Amino acid sequence: MDSLPKDKQPALRVMPMPADANQNGDIFGGWVMAQVDIAGGTVAAKLARGRVATVAVKEFVFKHPVQIGDLLSFYVDLEKIGTTSITVTVEVFAERRPENPRVVKVTEATLTYVAIDSTGQPRPVPRS
């Protein structure tokens, strides 16, 4: 059994609902991927002090299925700040079964965002 990181706060917490599930009752991987992008993007946008666009996802590895009613926590770690880009790793943990609590790490991914201006063109990431 995994455990939630004790030394940091999640960038996002969300509970998937039945509308987010496939015909087998598992949450769509694409829905989880979208939430990962939102969590990573909130951190990147704060560091960039403005708009960012997702330009790359290194990989997604799903370790456990996500179930309806799981409380998902998304933890973001900064990997690198480039001239115009920000790379983060997002780890996702599910807290499940409130009657018999269990935490499992369901996925992780590394994403790269580019800071963009109002016309959608790359701009430098502020340094301070």
**Domain limits, the chain:** 12-115
The pLDDT assigned to 97 comes to: 82
What is the spatial distance between Cα 114 and Cα 41, in angstroms, rounded to a whole number?
A: 10
Please, which residues have CB within 8 angstroms of residue 66's CB and are 6 or more apart in sequence?
Answer: 16, 26, 27, 32, 72, 94, 106
Give the pLDDT score at 118. 95
pLDDT tens per residue across span 108-121: 999 999 999 999 99
Structure tokens at 74: 């998304």
* Whole-number CA gyration radius for the chain: 16
CA distance linking residue 84 with residue 99, whole number of Å: 46
The low-confidence residues of the chain, meaning pLDDT below 70, are none
At 127 the pLDDT is: 87
pLDDT for res 83: 98
Q: What is the structure's pLDDT at 71?
A: 96
pLDDT of residue 3: 86
| pLDDT at residue 100, rounded to an integer | 85
Give residue 70's pLDDT.
95
Q: Which fold has domain 12-115?
A: Thiol Ester Dehydrase; Chain A (3.10.129)
CA distance 8 to 4: 9
Model pTM score: 0.94
Give which of 93, 117, 98 is closest to 4, Cα–Cα.
93
Structure tokens at 6: 């004790």
